[in-house]
Amino acid sequence: MFLKRRIERLFKTVNKDIDAILIKNSSRTHIDPSFYYVTGLNGVFEQGAAIIFPDEKVHVVASQLEACNIKKKEINVHVFRSKKELEETIREILRSSRKIGVNAEDLIYRDYIWVKKILPKAKLIDISKEISKARLKKDEKEVKEIKKACRIASRVAQKIPDIIHDNATELDIAGRIEHLMRLNGAEDRAFETIVAFGKNSALPHHVSGKTRLKKGDFALFDFGAMVNRYLSDITRTFVYGKASKLQREIYEVVKNAQQIGFDALKDCITFEEVHLAVKSYIDKTKFKGKFVHGTGHTLGLAVHDGGRLNKGSKEKLDENIVLTVEPGVYLPRVGGVRIEDDVLIKKGKIEILTNANRELIEI
């Protein structure tokens, strides 16, 4: 049922005269997350395609290695064993479609040229904006998966004080976090886990390396779990040892900023307003100018799922959107604090989906 409703919504959002939508995957690093949105499948589906029409079953063209895993009765499965078969199958399914929606966001150029060649009479229309818009508001099943991913991330965040130790490297702890997520039911990590010790925590997208943990360091952990292709995204920052006065001050400001973000999600109209509320608070403290990124982003099948809480984002807040709220303060050469949680917007209220302790913890 949920697939039918997603497809209905997608065609309604597109609101253009199109006959079909073609979602085409390429190799493993170029899989379109929208493939999972319209099929509800889990797997990889390299080179495969999903083709949808208004009021019809979903067509999935999959290699013989993966087609056998598809057990959904709402899906018409087509198997390809060679590039030629893939070509013939897609051509056959779309033989009477003249206007075909494609997702420019995730369709690689080589495949675009290839689709044009095999369907010479069809007009390909970019509907990436509409796809992103349709995916913004989550249905019940999506919320369920995201909540599971959030529960796993929260549970692991709670365990971090038990796994870090003197002299541990960032990469070692990143590996342990990812292992713990698997032990707690994750299928994979949501993205490259960030572990940043000491002054590295002042770099919002630090690449974890061989830096070792020392007494007095900030220790920042940004990670997420994947469940049925849906993701969570959480950040916690601890002090390893006793916090200095400055560390306490930074932490307090970031924690207050996050609360302002939560409140703003209930009161504001646009994404931008939430960000400005958080940023203007931080800029009124002694850490003016030290919050250097957006307040958050939408979350779902992709970590950055289309919408962003930043300046210029006129997108409207609406129920069933899932967003991160992740203010930070970064002092070069000292370190930084970021606290990030995932939030589901409901009618006039919010539900915080990641519930690991947000207070300053000294380990």
Catalog residues that contact Mn ion under the rule CB under 5 A: 233, 324
The rounded distance, in Å, linking the Cα atoms of 315 and 56 is: 31
**Residue 217 vs 222, nearer CB to Mn ion:** 222
The rounded distance, in Å, linking the Cα atoms of 242 and 250 is: 14
**Residue 134 vs 190, nearer CB to Mn ion:** 190
Q: Where would I find the H helices in 299-344?
A: none
Q: Are 57 and 74 contacting, i.e. CB atoms less than 8 angstroms apart?
A: yes
- Looking only at the bridges linking them, the beta strands covering 341-346 and 349-352 are antiparallel
The rounded distance, in Å, linking the Cα atoms of 313 and 321 is: 15
**Residue 58 vs 322, nearer CB to Mn ion:** 322
Q: Are 279 and 291 contacting, i.e. CB atoms less than 8 angstroms apart?
A: yes
Give the pair of three-digit tokens for residue 274.
Answer: 């939430």
Q: Whole-number minimum distance, CB 339 to Mn ion, in Å?
A: 11
**Which H helix or E strand runs over 22?**
strand 20-24
**Residue 151 vs 308, nearer CB to Mn ion:** 308
Q: Whole-number minimum distance, CB 326 to Mn ion, in Å?
A: 5
Residue 151 to residues 121, 226, 305: CA-CA distances in angstroms?
Answer: 49, 11, 19
Q: Whole-number minimum distance, CB 297 to Mn ion, in Å?
A: 6
**Residue 72 vs 255, nearer CB to Mn ion:** 255
Tokens 């005269």, residue located: 17
The rounded distance, in Å, linking the Cα atoms of 44 and 75 is: 16
For the beta carbon of residue 93, count every other beta carbon within 10 angstroms: 18
* Beta-ladder partners of 100: 20, 124
Q: Whole-number minimum distance, CB 247 to Mn ion, in Å?
A: 22
Q: Whole-number minimum distance, CB 17 to Mn ion, in Å?
A: 37
Question: Among candidates 326, 356, 320, which has minimal Cα distance to 205?
Answer: 326
Q: Whole-number minimum distance, CB 134 to Mn ion, in Å?
A: 22
Q: Whole-number minimum distance, CB 204 to Mn ion, in Å?
A: 10
Question: 200 Cβ partners below 8 Å, 6+ apart?
Answer: 170, 206, 211, 220, 335
**Residue 130 vs 233, nearer CB to Mn ion:** 233
**Residue 112 vs 191, nearer CB to Mn ion:** 191
> Closest CB to Mn ion belongs to which residue?
233
The rounded distance, in Å, linking the Cα atoms of 291 and 328 is: 6
Secondary structure (3-state) at 172: helix
Q: Whole-number minimum distance, CB 260 to Mn ion, in Å?
A: 17
**Residue 148 vs 308, nearer CB to Mn ion:** 308
Question: 290 Cβ partners below 8 Å, 6+ apart?
Answer: 282, 329, 330, 331
**Residue 258 vs 324, nearer CB to Mn ion:** 324
Q: Whole-number minimum distance, CB 310 to Mn ion, in Å?
A: 12
Give the pair of three-digit tokens for residue 177.
Answer: 């976090």
